[in-house]
Copies of this chain bind each other. A is one copy, B any other.
Amino acid sequence: MKLNWGMIGGGEGSQIGPAHRMGAQADGNFTLAAGALDADPDKGRVYAQRLGVAPDRAYGDWREMLEGERGRADRVDLVTVATPNATHFEITKAFLEAGFHVLCEKPMTMSVEEGEEIVRVAEAAGRICAVNYCYSAYPMVREMRAMVAAGQIGKVRLVVTNFSHGHHGDAGDADNPRVRWRYDPAMAGVSGQFADCGIHALHMAGFVAGDEVERVAADFASTIPSRVLEDDAMVNFRLQGGAVGRLWTSSVAIGRQHGFDLQVFGETGGLRWASEQPNQVYFTPVGGRTQIMEKGEAGLSDEAGRLSRVPIAHPEGFPLAVANIYVDLAATIRGEAHGTLPLAVDGLRSMAAVHACVASAKADGAWVDARPPMLR
């Protein structure tokens, strides 16, 4: 049976909204049954109905939706929160407490304390709180994780990841509201580029290595001087198992489009992946030749197979990585077998890392514990 799905935010013109709708609908698991899609209640109601939501479930805001849905027999099985960052905490918490499963866009919260609160609330409610670290759901990223877990590159020594683009590199564009807020503490919080893109890379590093970040040392720069928050950051880190990490993130790297890649080096091999060509992994056994692994090739892990839809060399892209998060959510809600979902605890770890990096950067790159207090 199809599951009922509700969405908060992601209205007309939103960048991330379509990816969620394709993600939820592509595999036929979810029906968009309810929504509070826009900051403007009327626009949100109209747009929801255009997307096929019944008039009584096309809500004006998230509070109205919470009231409307909580009592229904056919209430939504999952709520996606894709609103402005500063509102994630309040909405996610409210829906979890009301017994809904939630998929929250990143960043899950603005502070570490809020992150810990969400972890506690989700646990107390017995509900799933997933966070949309969708890159971790690409089949070949899952394959890398499976290879590392199976010891195919030996003990991990080194993880190197970049998420550096150039789309905020035009100083003349710095006053553009769509760009400016990202570097303004009043709207973006304590961090700019690292909180926006860097946390995807840091999550992936831990996800693929099968380990967690323990400490960080960061160098932040505002290469466009009018910016208060960083538009370029280098973060050295250590995983708990001792592996060394390097993470570069930038929004002024003109010529890089997406610029997200990951390299993992172990005692007996190395792996390389890039988000702009997500269907390949380059694997080199120590002393051997680099092999090009392809999504859909024979012999991949169950996890990589399960999350791929079309045969080898037919590329699957970003929206289907988001869809894979929904595949696993549907399976979890139905009590079926599923893969490793990014959860509230991952959202919490990201927030702790953001604050740790900010503290390190202010202390001239001193090493700072990046673990959330509740997980030390």
Contacts and interface: CB of A to CB of B under 8 A. Distances in A.
A367 B166 CA distance: 27
Contacts of A287: 170, 298
A309 B252 contact: no
A277 B278 CA distance: 10
Nearest to A235: B234
Given A157-B223, A252-B158, A291-B291, A18 B297 contact: no
Interface string A154-178: 0001101000111101110000000
A284 B255 contact: yes
A173 B285 CA distance: 14
Nearest to A166: B270
A313 B258 contact: yes
Interface stretch (A19-27, A101-109, A179-187, A205-213): A19-27
Interface residues of A, number: 88
A65 to B, nearest CB: 19
B290 A15 contact: no
A369 interface: no
Interface in A308-352: 309-320
A121 interface: no
Given A1-B52, A276-B315, A255 B232 contact: no
Interface stretch (A55-63, A79-87, A90-98, A261-269): A261-269
A40 interface: no
Nearest to A282: B255
A359 to B, nearest CB: 14
A271 B254 CA distance: 8
A244 B233 CA distance: 10
Nearest to A297: B289
Interface in A100-134: none
Contacts of A276: 279, 313, 315
B166 A284 contact: yes
Interface of A: 1-2, 15, 18-19, 21-22, 25-28, 32, 51-52, 153, 157-158, 160, 164-167, 169-171, 217, 219, 221, 223-224, 232, 234, 236, 244, 246, 248, 250, 252-259, 263, 265-267, 269-272, 275-279, 282-287, 289-294, 297-298, 309-320, 364-367
29 contacts: A19-B310, A19-B314, A22-B309, A22-B320, A25-B25, A26-B26, A153-B254, A157-B252, A158-B223, A158-B250, A160-B164, A160-B253, A166-B265, A166-B286, A167-B312, A217-B365, A232-B244, A250-B265, A254-B265, A254-B285, A254-B286, A257-B312, A276-B313, A289-B291, A289-B292, A290-B292, A291-B291, A314-B317, A365-B367
Given A22-B26, A160-B164, A317-B320, 12 more contacts: A2-B52, A15-B311, A22-B309, A25-B26, A160-B253, A165-B313, A217-B364, A254-B269, A254-B270, A255-B263, A257-B313, A314-B318
